[in-house]
Amino acid sequence: MIRNPFTPSLAAVALAILGTAGVAAAQPSLPATSFLTPVKATWESTRSLVTGLVEVMPEDKYDFKPTPEVRSFRDVVIHLVGENYLFFSRVTGENKGNPAQNLKSRDELIKALRESYDYGEKAWAGLTEEKALEPIEVRGQKVQRWSAILAAIQDNNNHYGNLVVYVRLNGLVPPRSAGR
């Protein structure tokens, strides 16, 4: 059976809720009782992890590939920026492309990554529980609006894991692991 990647699994929802229960109360824009509150906290945590990791890699390592057939560090960052815009433009109803597609420098890519997360914040700002449950289309499939956010979180976490390997193979320590 092929599972729809935009339909959140029970495990994904449980992790989103349970993994951030302590952070949920710190989210002022949504009521603590909203099912979106822990999802927003998870998004913020993911944003922080990815941004910190992308910032730790020096510019001369941005073309690094663990093996010839995989994306370079730079290409993964470009992909992440595009995916953030893809998923959150579905939430907002806008049509955004990938502004990072032709960027080269580390500073330009970090700026584009931050801007993609800022765009995600714009999507969150207009989101209510009612609106989150509305049907939208993502990659040809009808899903609830908040499923696009879960897809963005999942995509960011997957690529965070990829990028940790890139960073470690270059003798660097991910910020989350520093000092342990």
3-state secondary structure of 144: strand
Alpha carbon distance 132, 135 (integer Å) = 8
Q: Mean pLDDT per 10-residue run, the chain (180 residues)?
A: 48 45 46 86 96 98 97 97 95 87 93 96 93 92 94 97 98 90
pLDDT of residue 25: 40
Q: How far is CA 93 from CA 122, 126, 129, 137, 153, in A?
A: 12, 11, 16, 10, 18
Query: What residue has token string 């580390």?
Result: 106
Helix (H, G, I), strand (E, B) or coil at 61: helix
Compute the distance between CA of residue 9 and CA of residue 3 in angstroms, rounded to an integer. Answer: 9
* pLDDT for position 29: 61
Domains of the chain and CATH, by start: 35-169 (1.20.120.450)
